[in-house]
Structures are given as structure tokens and as C-alpha cells.
Amino acid sequence: MISKKDSVYHMLIANRNVYQPEVFSEILRYLCCIGIGISQSALLYQAECYNKMTPVLLFVQSLINKEGLNGQAIMRNSDFTFLLKATCYHYESTSNNDKNETKSINVVCQEIEAIPSSEAFLVCAPCFNEKIIEKVLNELLSVNCQFLFEKNSLGQYPVHRMITEENYFMNTVTTRLWGSEFLSCILKIVLKHAPKSAQLVNKEGRLPLHIVSDAQRRRFEDSDRLDLVKIIWNAYPEAAEAVDSKTGLPPFALAASKEEEGPKRRGSEDSLDRILNMMIPIEESLSSSFFLLRQQPI
């Protein structure tokens, strides 16, 4: 049920059948394009409000519940794919602090349309449940996964960004509830269709396995890191014997490293941090290291 707190996108989608199809399409595209410059866009509604649906999620549920469409048919709906791409476009613009106010509606519309559906769905995957993600993402990547081999302006490929950037995917209720299992699920699907992306090196010359193995990256718990290490190793086992250009260490040594990042500081607080760090159970901190060493013994 739509409430007074819901956005104009929600109201438009909920009343989609009231409009002629071409009128609905025109209104939707206009709203999406003029809303790009707004920092708190209703397109990203679920990212700010607990237990609320983004417009794109409301749309897909409407197509499933009211029209009985499956994942493949939904992705053939031009209005839905445009909304999906617009959500991705705005999310990335907001995350990168891009300024799009000076662009005309026509230019923004063209840039939105140019985004591959597979890329848009991947970035917005947390808007959907696990069943929809697995089915639709598999279908989309089987058709087009070329964007996975394209660097951004910082010299990072999508596979590196998924591992290193906490805001690569939309931060929604689904992401928070799913936790670390979300990234594991996504990486399995991505590497299934683009296994060679595990061979890509970023601007620093690091392979995905180097990054995910590095125990100094505090984003992952060691138990979660082991699952990701296995997934990436399965796609490119040879990476287990490749020396990391940044540290000069092989992956198994990176996984065992527990030194602090950055320059060492003085003070009681810093000493406490080091003591607490040493209290990490050794069997957990070395699990990834033992796995990699077993695959590529020296």
C-alpha cells in the first residue's frame, strides 16, 4: 500500500495501469532524468529507509505479482530496464559525487540508456532477493559481461571494486541482512560467466586473489575471507603462486600477515590495539594461508 511518505516514483508505479503505456514511459523517463542531480533521490529510497522498497523493487514485484512475468520477461520490459539503469546511474553518480546538474535531460537519458542491463542489475542486486538475483544475473551475464573487463578512471576493474569498495553495491536492507554471504554469492555468479576477470590486475598490479587474501584489509572477517579466497582461487588457481607487486608477498603469506596498516604510532591506545589484534585466534587468522599453501606448496 502506498502511503503519503512514499515518493512520486512509488505512486507512479503503483498506478501504472491508469496511464496509457506511452504516457507512463514518458513520465517515468522524465522523472528519472530530472532527479539525477538530487542528492537524496527517491530512486535510492531503500538505501535510507528500513524495510522500504526502492521504486525498482516495487516495479519488479508488480510485474511478478500482477502479470506473472518471470525474470527473463521482466528484463524485456523497457520501462523496468530504464528504471533499473537510472537507479544504477544515479547511485554511481551519488557515490562518486559527480555533478550532473549541467547536463540536459536528453544527454542524461542517452547516458542512462547506454548502461548495459547486466551492469545495472549487478550494482542494484541488493534491491532483490537471492532467488531473483541468481536467476536474472545468470541470464544477463550469459549475454553480456564485457563491462567486467573495463577499468574505471581509477584503474580498477569491477571485480576489484566489489572486493575493496563497501559502496560498490547499493546499501539496502537486503545487503545488511545477507551480510558477507551476499558478496560470495555475487562473485560465484560473476566468475562463472567471466572467469578471466580473476586474472585482471588493477592499477597497483594486484590480482583479485591478492586483495582478498590480504589479512590487513579489515573489511573481512577471517572466516568470510576464506570463502572468498576459495571462490577466486577456483576461477584462477595460478594466482596462488603469483607474487603481489605491492607487498612482494605470495597470497598465502598475505593471508597470514597481521601487521598494522600505516605508520606506527605511539601511545597507550595504540598499544592496546596491537594487543587486541594479537588475541585473534591463530587458527582463524591462518585459515586462508593454509588453504592457499595446500593448493600451491612451495
Question: Which residue is associated with the grid cell 603481489?
Answer: 244
Separation of alpha carbons 88 and 168, rounded Å: 10
pLDDT in tens, 155-193: 899 999 998 888 899 877 666 656 668 889 999 999 999
What is the gyration radius of the CA atoms in the chain, in angstroms?
22
Say if residue 26's pLDDT is above 90.
Answer: yes
**Interior CA angle at 128 toward 70 and 107, to 5°?**
90
**Nearest Cα to Cα of residue 195 among 239, 241, 136:** 239
Say if residue 236's pLDDT is above 60.
Answer: yes
Tell me what the mean pLDDT of segment 12-24 comes to: 92
Question: Which residue is associated with the grid cell 585466534?
Answer: 281
Tell me what the mean pLDDT of segment 281-292 comes to: 55
Tell me what the mean pLDDT of segment 128-141 comes to: 87
pTM score, two decimals? Answer: 0.81
More confident residue, 233 or 278: 233
Report CA-CA distances (Å) from 35 to 7, 106, 116. Answer: 12, 13, 20
**Nearest Cα to Cα of residue 162 among 138, 141, 182:** 182
Q: What pLDDT does 264 receive?
A: 43
Reading phi first (left if > 0) and then psi (alpha if -120 to 50, else beta), residue 38 is in beta
Say if residue 262's pLDDT is above 60.
Answer: no
pLDDT in tens, 38-71: 666 778 876 666 557 788 888 888 887 766 666 6
